[in-house]
């Protein structure tokens, strides 16, 4: 099968190129250029330098690749996790919205019948069940406008089938939770505390499993799926394990008001009221299983 991957040199993109190439697929991967192109080639793909904000250039690249499936793994997150910093999410929101729109048009221009696109599983309302299924209401306060807008446009476009993968919080190489990642450094400095009672839930996913889920979605499924590991985690449970896995001292405990002051209220709310996500639908409809079923071993073995 011919596959075009937008964002092929990223944390999910590279393992996805490797997995697809190993399975015998022909993979063309876009990158902004530089070392990304070399990494794509080393992983077994054909690299194409492409600016996703240049619609004409992106259309030309996708049309030339003649893909049967287009996979969107576009992200643009800074190296440091500083959510209270002004403009922290701007680049990522732009690549999801403007870049995502351009990729939709490129897919249609190429006549590709199927799109697999990434989203996030931590966008549900902070009310109701602690573990969310796909039909649960999402938070429409504005913070998730870019990703929800791309979901809607992909699913409503009748020129192709679309599969939306709502990934859990990613860890592994190239993420903030890698051993050399920003949050590993912060937890070693005891700057990743347990907030309040630590009741907020998180669903994690290793980047290799995020990639394998995209492979599974090439031919199976349609619509929205949560893609996470098998064990949603309370903050009070996962932060001490993460700290131990990177050789840090046990985390401190701080009140909600202090966390909101330092990191911002949205992050403090996620720590105390966040919801996890169920992967049951995706597993049942595609047969996919995470190779790392829990962060409990994943933090130690695969970061």
What pLDDT is stored for residue 51 in this prediction? 96
The number of angstroms, rounded, from the C-alpha of 186 to the middle of its chain's C-alpha atoms is 21
Q: Residue 91 corresponds to which tokens in the numbers above?
A: 């680049």
Q: What is the pLDDT of residue 303?
A: 65
Share of residues in the chain with pLDDT > 70 (%):
100
Tell the burial category of 55 from Cβ atoms under 10 Å away from its Cβ (0-12, 13-18, 19+). Answer: middle
The structure's pTM equals 0.97
Residue 64 CB partners (closer than 8 Å, separation 6+): 48
pLDDT, tens digit, 9 for 90 and up, residues 214-273: 999 999 999 999 999 999 999 999 999 999 999 999 999 999 999 999 999 999 999 999
Q: Are 125 and 139 in contact (CB under 8 A)?
A: yes
**Distance in angstroms (rounded) separating the CA atoms of residues 237 and 222:** 34
Is the pLDDT score of 170 beyond 90?
yes
Under the banding of pLDDT at 50, 70 and 90, the label for residue 302 is confident
Helices assigned H by DSSP within 66-181 = 90-94, 100-110, 145-156
Mind listing the pLDDT tens digit for each residue in 38-69?
Answer: 999 999 999 999 999 999 999 999 999 999 99
pLDDT, average across residues 117-127: 97
**What residues contact residue 44 under an 8 Å CB cut-off, 6+ apart?**
17, 18, 20, 21, 22, 27
The mean pLDDT of the chain is 97
Helix (H) and strand (E) counts in the chain: 13, 15
């Amino acid at each position: 099968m011919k596959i075009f991957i937008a964002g092929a040199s990223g944390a999910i993109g590279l393992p996805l190129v490797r997995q697809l190439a190993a399975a015998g697929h022909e993979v063309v991967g876009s990158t902004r250029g530089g070392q990304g192109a070399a990494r794509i080639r080393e992983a077994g793909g054909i690299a194409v330098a492409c600016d996703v904000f240049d619609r004409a250039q992106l259309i030309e690249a996708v049309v030339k690749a003649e893909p049967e499936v287009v996979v969107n793994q576009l992200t643009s997150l800074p190296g440091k996790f500083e959510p209270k910093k002004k403009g922290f999410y701007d680049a990522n929101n732009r690549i999801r919205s403007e870049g995502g729109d351009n990729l939709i048009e490129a897919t249609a221009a190429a006549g590709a019948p199927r799109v697999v696109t990434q989203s996030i599983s931590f966008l549900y309302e902070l009310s109701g069940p602690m573990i969310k299924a796909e039909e649960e209401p999402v938070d429409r306060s504005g913070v998730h406008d870019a990703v929800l807008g791309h979901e809607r446009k992909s699913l409503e476009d009748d020129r192709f089938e679309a599969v939306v993968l709502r990934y859990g919080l990613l860890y592994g190489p190239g993420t903030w939770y890698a051993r050399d990642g920003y949050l590993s450094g912060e937890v070693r400095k005891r700057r990743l505390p347990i907030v309040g009672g630590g009741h907020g839930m998180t669903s994690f996913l290793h980047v290799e499993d995020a990639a394998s889920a995209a492979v599974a979605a090439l031919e199976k499924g349609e619509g929205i799926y949560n893609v996470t590991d098998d064990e949603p985690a309370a903050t009070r449970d996962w932060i001490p394990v993460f700290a131990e896995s990177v050789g840090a001292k046990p985390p401190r405990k701080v009140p909600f008001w202090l966390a909101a002051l330092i990191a911002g209220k949205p992050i403090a709310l996620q720590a105390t009221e966040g919801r996890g996500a169920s992967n049951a639908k995706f597993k049942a409809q595609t047969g996919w299983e995470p190779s790392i079923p829990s962060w409990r071993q994943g933090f130690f073995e695969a970061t």
